[in-house]
Amino acid sequence: MADELTPDELLDKIDYGADSGNWMDTTKSVQIRPGMYCYAAKAESVETLGLPNARPWNPVEEDWKLPDDWQQILHNGIKERLERFRTFKIFMDVCVRCGACADKCHFFLGTGDPKNMPVLRAELLRSVYRNDFTTAGKILQNIPGGQRLGGNRPLTLDVLKEMWYYFFQCTECRRCSVFCPYGIDTAEITIMARELFNLIGLNIDWIATPVSNCYQTGNHLGIQPHAFKDMLEFFVEDLEDITGVDCTPNFQKKGADILFITPSGDVFADPGTYTCQGYLILFKYLKDKYGLDVTWSTYASEGGNFGFFTSHETMKRLNAKMYAEAKRLGVKWILGGECGHMWRVIHQYMDTMNGPADFLEVPVNPITGTRFTNAASTKMVHITEFTADLIKHGKLELDKGRNANRIMTFHDSCNPARGMGLLDEPRYVINNVCDNFYEMPPNTIRENTFCCGSGAGLNAGENMELRMAGALPRATALKHVHEKYGVNTLGTICAIDRAALSTLCEYWVPEVEVAGIHELVGNALILPGEKERTEDLRMEPLPGCEEEE
């Protein structure tokens, strides 16, 4: 927890009046401060994937143990990426610094640090680009004072450290991109910057170790196959206590209808575990009622993809498992669980990177007959699309009363909102399993949603001040509906959110709990042959079943 800083102390620090002086004077800003940065990647995690410059190093030490030719490596890296990514090239060239993005970033709003304005975050890299890659920059280099006047900087160690510090204070949420008149996407620039850092071994451990685990063991947490099975079986035992029904899932079942992949966080940490139990209940219901055969896989047991926060190549290497496993098992199509960045990867990258998935069928829900034409090529469907379709066709028996104690609001996760547009499907599901739903203010939901403050691999423990500052805009909106409508549950469809928002609530709005949408589905769904339920999935009394005092 952010024990060093109370919420009040954190609030005292916020000031949107920017610094005076020239931001290019880096000496002051590269004081990498505890609470705001993540620990360096462990050498062994970097080695697993054979990524460059694996060694122990420490961001707060003077010597970062870089290769001798690190400037040349980065220069070539930038050049290569300018050719490979039109986004990068255009975004380096066209910004007019109109400032529309400045106060759209949750990290700026929570810290007041002017270098957290998206425009300035990008300028850190753009100043190097202008200096080294544009004609004007090359001319200005030769004029005394020209670099400074042009806003151009050579790539020095201080500049590198500053970039590292601030590109690991961006959660790639794309909110600034919504407001940019040219669609400049800071997420894209951060992605490029982090790719560049990885060329010289400058990843953070909270990304590198999950990547390494995922590559070798199948999931971020490094849960081995037998342990993964044990954990799900543990849920099955709980569910049998709660419902009286055996919800044992399939593992690696060849010839199943659907392969289901969800973030491993749901198997491991509360409150994601309750969402996971919701999935188990749903699949049991569909099996018993309609004969639908869903299988899990311990090999492809990670929906999330921290490779996305490392490099495009690493993302592809981790993502490849989904199609590979679907092919090996001979399923018809893939169903994906509730996760944020996982869905950006699936929706905007997977087919391009690892497709075509011509061994799968165009997803059809055999129960409703709905053909998911929006997933015709990638052949992967989001679970809220799937569940919404089932509910719409009246295929699920739901008892909303079991969620009567929940007064809900919904947090749109950045990636499904701004990298996909999955907005109404989860709301439809919520409204069908729960009676009390209130939206947060319009500036903070849907495409305007605020990040939890911990996305893109920043969900570590050591950067808690940064996380809680970044969480402030979301927390403010949540507090508003909590006070106005008595909201006590924050619904979300993201595994990182389930962990991060829980911490957010504990810090900023302690009266609110976080729940995945399929936890609510699991509570409401009436399983064939179930006993009279008295407890919800958290093993707390259902509304109306509280013990009398």
Between residue 132 and residue 151, which ones bind other proteins under the rule CB under 8 A?
A: 134-136, 148-151
Residue 427's alpha-carbon distances to 29, 102, 336, 391, 422, in angstroms, are: 42, 30, 18, 12, 10
244-273: contacts with other proteins (CB under 8 A): 251-254
Restricting to residues 48-107, name those near other proteins by CB under 8 A: 50, 82-90, 93-100, 102-104
Binding span for other proteins by CB under 8 A among 27-35, 432-440, 459-467, 470-478: 470-478
- Least Å distance between CB 66 and other proteins? 25
Stretch of 17-25, 200-208, 523-531, 540-548 lying at the interface with other proteins (CB under 8 A) = 17-25
Residues 482-541 that bind other proteins (CB under 8 A): none
- H/E segment holding residue 261: strand 258-261
Binding of other proteins by 230 (CB under 8 A): yes
CB 408 within 8 A of CB 438: yes
Q: Is the peptide bond before 356 cis (omega within 30 degrees of 0)?
A: yes
Beta strands at 513-516 and 294-296: parallel, antiparallel or unpaired:
unpaired
Could you give the maximum distance between any two Cα atoms of the chain, in Å? Answer: 83
Binding mask 174-203 for other proteins (x = CB under 8 A): x--xxxxxxxxx--x---------------
Q: In what order do the strands lie in the sheet with 380-382?
A: 250-251, 294-296, 258-261, 333-336, 380-382
Which helix (H) or strand (E) segment is 333 a member of?
strand 333-336
Q: Which of residues 132 and 536 has its CB atom nearest to other proteins in the complex?
A: 132
Q: Please identify, among the stretches 62-70, 351-359, 486-494, 523-531, the one whose residues bind other proteins according to the rule CB under 8 A.
A: 351-359
Alpha carbons within 13 A on the beta-carbon side of 413: 29
Give the range of 62-70, 71-79, 373-381, 494-502 binding other proteins by CB under 8 A: 373-381
Q: Which residues pair with 258 in a beta bridge?
A: 294, 333
Q: How many residues bind other proteins, per CB under 8 A? A: 122
Q: How many CA atoms lie within 13 A of 148 on its CB side?
A: 7
| Residue with Cβ nearer other proteins (321 or 467) | 321
Helices (H), 330-471: 341-345, 351-354, 383-392, 414-418, 424-433, 464-470
| Cα 308–Cα 314–Cα 319 angle in degrees, nearest 5 | 75
Minimum separation from the CB atom of position 384 to other proteins (A): 9
Only segment of 39-47, 416-424, 511-519, 520-528 that touches other proteins (CB under 8 A): 416-424
Q: How far is the CB of 546 from other proteins (least distance, A)?
A: 34
Residue of the chain from 56, 348, 397, 540 that contacts other proteins (CB under 8 A) = 348
Between residues 109 and 433, which has the closer beta carbon with respect to other proteins? Answer: 109
